[in-house]
Amino acid sequence: MNRRFFLWLTLPILLLSTGCPSGGGGDGGFGVGGTGVAYVVNTGPNEISTYTTDVVGALRDAGTVALADAPSSIAVSSDSAFAFVGTNDGVYAFRVNLGTGGLSSVSGSPFSAGNSFTALTVSPNNRALYAANGNGTVVAYSINAATGSLTSIDIENVGTSPSGVVVSPNGQFLYVSNQGSNNVSAFRVDGTTGALTFEENKSAGTSPSGVAALTSGSSSFLFVSNQTSNNVSAYTINGTTGALTGIGVPVAAGTAPSGVVVSPNGLFLYVSNQGSNDVSAYTINGTTGALTGIGASVAAGTAPSGITIEPDGQFLYVSNSGGGGNVSGYRITAGTGTLVLLGAVFPAGTSPRGIATPGRP
């Protein structure tokens, strides 16, 4: 808890004209010719599926990486330098090959401070990793900028069965959704050490799952998908304390909403619905944070779980945890946020769960 690391930046690497979403904001810094990377963790064979992405959004198989433990979550730094995977026995760190997207294990993996890491997020400045732990805690790690190795700096109690975790775009606050206790734990982040100070447990819907945050102008917002009440809660974030204030009533989603992600331009929110096998889309009011549905939900594969958007904001991907294991891809229509299926699904391993592109989640 007393270890120190570099002074946190106050904004993500890339400043967006209308808003800065959580868990991203960088340009990815990857590859040549407009290509990028994406990763999926597969709980069936205990492996990571690696992909490169091309200019039309297609995922190209770049191989797999075997793991000793069952993975459940993944996060990639916004500069594409490192990827982190949460498992039942710690957090694995990998260096990303900027030419191929391949992963090489960081010495010391897995870094353990608990078990059953259900969700991960990298801080906007890529200096820290936060991991929600199934035992009811959130673990903070500093990231060695040269090697990618992790050092535990803080462990804090949260609610029951934490499911999602996110850092606000300015790096000042952290939020954990707790499925078992139907609330969101809010923390202030120390700008020097990265340690956490508890602020509050805020009520959410039933079985809150995914979380995403956005800064738009002088206002910041948090969005939470509620799996059992089949809706999305929206909150304003107090800029001084990080405390949450509900925005109206939760908006309807599909059945069993799970993953949630904000577009890089801050205009749109997308939610994967595990029960209805589709994706819900919303516009975000940049002044109030209110959500408005964008037409009907768009079909996905079986039991869509993880959700991510590539850093340029053109393509969205959803990992489908049922039906043999695959990934659905969509083009995001500029201006409207409407999703258009790319075509055939992309193969993954058995029971894919988490999915990530640079800076997301």
Beta bridge partner(s), residue 167: 174
pLDDT score of 19: 63
For the segment 246-258, the average pLDDT, to the nearest whole number, is 98
pLDDT of residue 344: 86
Mean pLDDT of 235-261: 98
Whole-number pLDDT of residue 27: 31
Fold for 20-356, please state it: Methylamine Dehydrogenase; Chain H (2.130.10)
342 pLDDT band, cuts 50/70/90, is: very high
In the beta sheet, which residues pair with residue 252?
Answer: 231
95 close to 148: Cβ distance less than 8 angstroms: yes
* pLDDT tens profile 152-200: 999 999 999 999 999 999 999 999 999 999 999 999 999 888 899 999 9
Give the residue extent of every domain in the chain: 20-356
Block residue for tokens 């959580």: 22
How confident is the model at residue 57, as a pLDDT? 95
The one-character DSSP state at 182 is T
Using alpha carbons, list the distances in angstroms from residue 96 to 27, 54, 83, 113.
15, 17, 7, 23
Chain centroid to CA 306: how far? 8
Tell me how far apart the alpha carbons of residues 328 and 347 are, in angstroms, rounded to a whole number.
Answer: 9
Amino acid residing at 32 = V
Judged against a pLDDT cut of 70, whether residue 83 lies above it is answered with yes
Whether residue 361 is predicted with pLDDT greater than 90 in this model: the reply is no
| H or E segment and range at residue 117 | strand 117-122
- Give the model's confidence band at 15: pLDDT under 50 very low, under 70 low, under 90 confident, else very high: very low
Question: Mean pLDDT across the stretch 328-350?
Answer: 96
Express each pLDDT in 56-74 by its tens digit: 999 999 999 999 999 999 9
User: Among all chains, which residue has been given the structure tokens 């996110």?
Assistant: 166
Of 6, 59, 75, 70, give the one whose Cα is nearest residue 357.
75
- Position 18 scores a pLDDT of 40
Q: What is the mean pLDDT of residues 30-49?
A: 79
Burial of 126 by CB count in 10 Å (0-12 exposed, 13-18 middle, 19+ buried)? buried
Greater pLDDT, 344 or 9: 344
Tens of pLDDT along 280-295? 999 999 999 999 999 9
Could you give the CA distance from residue 94 to residue 129 in angstroms, rounded to a whole number?
13
Using a cut of 0.75, tell me whether the model's pTM lies above it: yes
